[in-house]
Amino acid sequence: MADPVPMVRTQHLRKEFHGHVALENLALEVGRGDVYGLIGPNGAGKTTLLRILATLDQPTFGTVEVDGLDIELHPQQIHARVGYMPDFQHAFEEMTVTDYLEYFARAFKLAPAVRRKRLQHLLDLTQLHVKAGEQVGSLSRGMKQRLSLGRTLIHDPTLLLLDEPTSGLDPKARIDFRGIVKQLAAEGKTILISSHILEDLSDFCSAVGILEKGRLVESGKISSILARMKTATQLRIRVLAAMDRAAALVRESPHAVSLEVQGEWIDVTFSGDASAQADLLRELTAGGVRVAAFEERRAGLEEIFLRGSSGEVS
C-alpha cells in the first residue's frame, strides 16, 4: 500500500523579504493526524512558515502542498482545509462572544442550522458558554485566546496552524489551552503549533521540527529522533548513608559515563541497559549503601532542542 499523502509537504522552500532570507531550502513533512511542534527562538522563521501554509504569504522559491494541493494553484481549496491562528489577533472588542463567532461563521457562509450547531459546539469546546453574552473586550487574555481558537475552528478545518498560542498566558490559562489542543488532537486534527516555550509542546506533540535562522535543522517523530540521538540514560540515585562508598561503587561500573553528587543525590550518565541498571542497584545495596530512590530519566524535548540546535543530532 502506498504511503498516504502527508498533510503538509514543502520542498526547497525559500522566502525572502527585501533581500533578507527568512526561510532557506526548507523541506518539511507533517503526517496526517500529527501534532507537530515547531520549535525555535523568536525570528527563526516560524511565523513566516505558518503564514505561507495559510496562503497569506507566497514562497519566493520552492513548492508547498497542503493535503496534496499546491497552495499557489489551489488557494480556495486550501482555505477550506486550513485554520490559522496568528500569535496576536485584534478582536472586535465591542461584540459579544456569540456575535463574534457568528460573524465569522457567516463569513464562511455556513447555513443557519449548521451555524447554530457549530457555535454551540465551539462555545462548549472553548469553555466560553458562560461568557456567550459578554463583550469580547471584557474577557481575560486566556479567554480571548480560546475565543480566537474557536474562530479558527469555525469552518471545521482539517489542519490547524497555531502560532505561539500560549504566549503571554498565565500558567492556568496555558494548561487550559493545552487541554483543548489535546482534545482536538484526539479527534484526529492535524496540528502544527509553534512555540519557543518547550513546556507548551512537551506533553502532547508526536513530532517536532527545530527552526534556526530560517533552516530546519531537525525534524521527525520524537521517538525516531531520540533513537538517533543514542543518548545515554540519566540515572538519579538517592542515598541515605555511605555517600562516599556509593559514589565509589558507581564510578567502578563500566557503564558510568559521568556522575555528580548533589546532597543526597547522585546524578549518573549511564550507558547500560535495564539489566545493567539492576546490577548497579544490587552492587550498591550489597556494599552497604542505603538507596532510597533509583530513578531513570530519558532524553526529552528539551534535549532534542538543545542538541538539535547545536547540530549534535545526526
Digitized pLDDT (tens) for each residue of the chain, 314 residues in all: 456 899 999 999 999 999 899 999 999 999 999 999 998 888 899 999 999 999 999 999 999 999 999 999 999 999 999 999 998 776 689 999 999 999 999 999 999 999 999 999 999 999 999 999 999 999 999 999 999 999 999 999 999 999 999 888 888 998 899 899 999 999 999 999 998 776 667 677 888 888 989 999 888 887 777 666 556 678 999 999 889 999 999 999 998 888 899 999 999 988 888 899 999 999 999 999 999 999 987 656 666 666 555 554 44
Side chain identity, residue 118: R
Residue 307 lies in a domain: no
Q: Mark whether 158 and 57 lie in a shared domain.
A: yes
Q: Are residues 212 and 272 in the same domain?
A: no
Question: Which pTM was predicted?
Answer: 0.76
pLDDT at 148: 95
125 and 143 in a single domain? The answer is yes
Residue span of the structural domain in which 218 resides: 8-223
- β-strands 190-195, 159-163 pairing: parallel
CATH at residue 149 = 3.40.50.300
Q: What is the CATH number of the domain that holds 268?
A: 3.30.70.100
**197 with 157, same domain?**
yes
Domain boundary among 223, 257, 286: 223
Q: 254 with 116, same domain?
A: no
Task: Specify whether 242 is located in the same domain as 217.
Answer: no
What is the reported pLDDT for 314?
Answer: 41
Question: Would you say 57 and 15 are in contact if contact means Cβ atoms under 8 Å apart?
Answer: yes
23 plus 68 within the same structural domain: yes
User: Is the sign of the CA dihedral 76, 82, 87, 91 positive or negative?
Assistant: positive
The pLDDT of residue 3 is 62
DSSP string, 164-229: STTTT--HHHHHHHHHHHHHHHHTT-EEEEEES-GGGTTTT-SEEEEEETTEEEEEEEHHHHHHHH
**Predicted pLDDT at 304:** 63
Residues 24-45 have pLDDT tens digits of 999 999 999 999 999 888 889 9
Q: Are strands 265-270 and 256-262 parallel, antiparallel or unpaired?
A: antiparallel
Contacts of 49 (CB under 8 A, 6+ apart): 10, 13, 23, 26, 28, 38, 194, 211
Structure confidence at residue 232 (pLDDT) = 63
Is residue 303 included in any domain, yes or no?
no
Count of domains for the chain? 2
- What distance separates the 2 farthest-apart alpha carbons in the chain? 76
Rounded-to-integer distance, Cα 7 and Cα 14, Å: 19
